[in-house]
Amino acid sequence: MNDNNWTPPLLESDEDFLLLKQPLSDRDYIKLKHSLFTEGCKEHILVWHGIIIDGNKRYEICKENNIRFKIRHSMFRSKAEAFVYICKEELQRNDLINEMYKYLIGRLYQSELERKAQMYSSKNESTHPYIPGRVYRKQEISQQIADELKISRGTVLKYEIFTKCIDSLREKEPEIAAKILSGKLKISHENIIELERLPSRELHALNNTLSKSNIDHITYSDFRHELLWKSLPSIPMPPTRQQEDDSLPIRQMPAYDPDSDLANLIFTIPTWVSSIKRAHKNTDFSKATSGAKDKVNEQLSLLQDAILSMQASLKEEYQHE
């Protein structure tokens, strides 16, 4: 199917778009290459302003081997709209890694927020008279995505937090973000939030330790107290009797306890419930200031979202058992 007399058009790839696509496995890549060689490129390469939206690997193989292909130009009005399209297409794959599935849902939610904000802005209302002049609320967008994917709204919000953490980690230490998205490094949702708060220097030290020790599952105590100190440069100190005693036991990594964080919640949640009940019973709401009530209401909304996210995770794990 090669055509040495054909010059393929030059197209570009966008790193932001590529980050939304789970790489092909070696097996699938070989299968794709064989198909293109024997049957030609039957599917169009989807582009937007000369940038490939869908078909990056097909383009690379066809260009390298002078295999003819056709281009289909998309009509996206913005980059956010292109993000929405890519996320929805990727979410239909049956080989998605769980972490990539979470990341794509988070990015889909963020992109829909941006897309709807652009559509409903006063600047664009005149060019889109069929769109009602109001801004979509976050609750409506998250619920719409939840309904389409048959998950809860709390799960959508939880995955957006996951996406934000991954993007922040990618800026500080790209290798750690890549390991999490590829499933090579297992870490809980709560611990990835703590991990994202570490500065670049500590993340780099942690990544070195993970690589040297071939560790694929870490807890907060691991990366904050055990793994990190092993990677930091040691400071020369005068020898002590304890250091001179070779018979002393070597410090070991603590055993991984999958229930430790849940056990903490079991003990702390009753305290929250008691505090809320006490405030509810003792407060004269008619005399409380609007500012105080607004702040409490805001915190209760955040707590409600956290509860929805946790319940969604528990429900998912029950379904997998």
Q: Could you tell me the strand order of the sheet in which 45-48 lies?
A: 51-54, 45-48, 71-73
Average pLDDT taken over every residue of the chain: 82
pLDDT at residue number 221: 61
Would you say residue 252 has pLDDT above 70?
A: no
- State pLDDT tens for residues 105-142: 999 999 999 998 887 764 544 445 444 444 457 888 99
Cα maximum dimension of the chain:
85
Q: Do the Cβ atoms of 109 and 141 come closer than 8 Å? A: yes
> What 3-state DSSP class applies to 252?
coil
- Between 165 and 264, where is the model more confident? 165
Residue 115 burial by Cβ neighbours in a 10 Å radius (0-12, 13-18, 19+): buried
Which two structure tokens, joined as six digits, stand for 32? 């794709």
In order of 2, 20, 39, 103, 292, the CA distances from 167 in angstroms are: 40, 11, 39, 9, 34
The mean pLDDT of 250-255, rounded to a whole number, is: 48
When computed from its CA atoms, the radius of gyration of the chain, rounded to whole angstroms, is 26
CA distance 254 to 263: 17
Which residue in the block uniquely carries the two structure tokens 């505090």?
A: 275
Query: In sequence order, what are the residues at sequence separation of 6 or more whose Cβ sits closer than 8 angstroms to the Cβ of residue 68?
Result: 1, 3, 6, 8, 40, 41, 62
Overall pTM surpassing 0.85 (yes/no): no
> Of 4-18, 88-102, 141-155, 171-185, which gets the smallest average pLDDT?
4-18
Would you say residue 22 has pLDDT above 90?
A: yes
Q: Do the Cβ atoms of 80 and 115 come closer than 8 Å? A: yes
CA distance 107 to 257: 31
- Written in H, E and C, the secondary structure of 14-37 is CHHHHCCCCCCCHHHHHHHHHHHH
pLDDT at residue number 133: 43
Query: In sequence order, what are the residues at sequence separation of 6 or more whose Cβ sits closer than 8 angstroms to the Cβ of residue 204?
Result: 173
Residue 137 burial by Cβ neighbours in a 10 Å radius (0-12, 13-18, 19+): exposed
Domain ranges of the chain: 15-73, 79-172, 175-233
> In degrees rounded to 5, what are phi and psi of residue 297?
-60, -40
pLDDT at residue number 220: 62
Query: In sequence order, what are the residues at sequence separation of 6 or more whose Cβ sits closer than 8 angstroms to the Cβ of residue 39?
Result: 1
Res. 237 pLDDT band, cuts 50 70 90: very low
> In degrees rounded to 5, what are phi and psi of residue 64?
-65, -30
The mean pLDDT of 235-250, rounded to a whole number, is: 47
Determine if residue 76 is left, alpha or beta; phi over 0 gives left, psi from -120 to 50 gives alpha, anything else beta. Answer: beta
The mean pLDDT of 156-161, rounded to a whole number, is: 95
